[in-house]
Amino acid sequence: MVEREGYTVEPVGERAVARVVPGPVCAFCEGTGRRTLEMRGVQRVGRCRCQKIPDRVILYNRAQIPARYAESTMATFRTDLPDARAGWTMCRNWLDRYRPGEENAGLILSGEPGRGKTHLLSAVLRELIFQHGVSCRFVEFTHLISSIKEGFDRKESEATTLTPLVRVPVLAVDELGKGRRTEFEVAVLDEIITRRYNARGTLLATTNYPLTRRAQPAAATLALPGLESLSERLGDRIFSRLKESNTMITVGGEDYRVTHAQRR
């Protein structure tokens, strides 16, 4: 369980769940959550500032961050591991530049498995929510595709399946490029990214694929696993838009899962 001022976050089932930590009764609203303010002789009733944490707890729980990342913050990321700090620093710089309500470049985290990309993604979302009150949504790529396909199979409207993913201010996609790369997957991804691009929405993502093609041995063929780049997985059209509207970061370091298992 991670505790911060006024709230806790802990794993509950499949999700990381935030809860308000009860404190003393607010002296301004006496626990009602409503305040009357007078401006230029006009009285207005609004939410008390003591409701900031409860409101952001609601936003955090709506984000649907996985339970495994309930303790993932910028402070708990292992920057002491070799080559790991550079990725953390770039994410920290991105957060410092973020301006709520304005158009912000997105963030694509590329790196081999176990480097802490999803930890950083979850930590960035947490800070956007609790520091800035930004509405966010976390989705894993293959689960996203499955849920959209199921919605279409049930004859649900586009407003039900795709529009919420387009309109949320910050959409975080874990394991971008994963899957079978079917025509349906590419079409759905193109639709989401194009509409968010046109709406100036912020996209965050992780991927296990390198941003550009790695150098290949002379005997290697294009069919060998692990040699595809993200641009090849997504196609030139989608990757071009991502490259234009996102900061792309390679997260290095050791395989944290192996290191953690050895220390246990």
HEC string for the chain = CEEECCEEEEEECCEEEEEECCCCCCCCCCCCCEEEEEECCEEEEEECHHHHHHHHHHHHHHHCCEHHHCCCCCCCCCCCCCCCHHHHHHHHHHHHHCCCCCCCCEEEEECCCCCCHHHHHHHHHHHHHHHHCCCEEEEEHHHHHHHHHHHHHCCCCHHHHCHHHHHCCEEEEECCCCCCCCHHHHHHHHHHHHHHHHHCCEEEEEECCCCCCCCCCCCCCCCCCCCCCHHHHHCHHHHHHHHHHEEEEECCCCCHHHHHHHHC
Q: Can you give the pLDDT at residue 35?
A: 74
Query: So what's the architecture of 72-263 in CATH?
Result: 3-Layer(aba) Sandwich (3.40)
pLDDT tens for the chain, 264 residues long, are 544 568 999 999 999 999 999 888 887 787 787 777 766 767 677 777 778 899 999 999 999 999 999 999 999 998 887 788 999 999 999 999 999 999 999 999 999 999 999 999 999 999 999 999 999 999 999 999 999 889 888 988 877 888 999 999 999 999 999 988 889 898 989 999 999 999 999 999 999 999 876 555 544 444 444 568 999 999 989 999 999 999 999 998 887 666 554 555
Whole-prediction pTM: 0.86
153: Cα separation from own chain's centroid: 27
- Domain definitions of the chain by residue range: 72-263
CA-to-CA distance for 36 and 24, rounded, in angstroms? Answer: 20
Q: Can you give the pLDDT at residue 46?
A: 78
* Sequence letter at residue 130: F
Q: Can you give the pLDDT at residue 224?
A: 42
Q: Can you give the pLDDT at residue 263?
A: 53
Q: Can you give the pLDDT at residue 97?
A: 96
Q: Can you give the pLDDT at residue 192?
A: 93
CA-to-CA distance for 89 and 86, rounded, in angstroms? Answer: 5
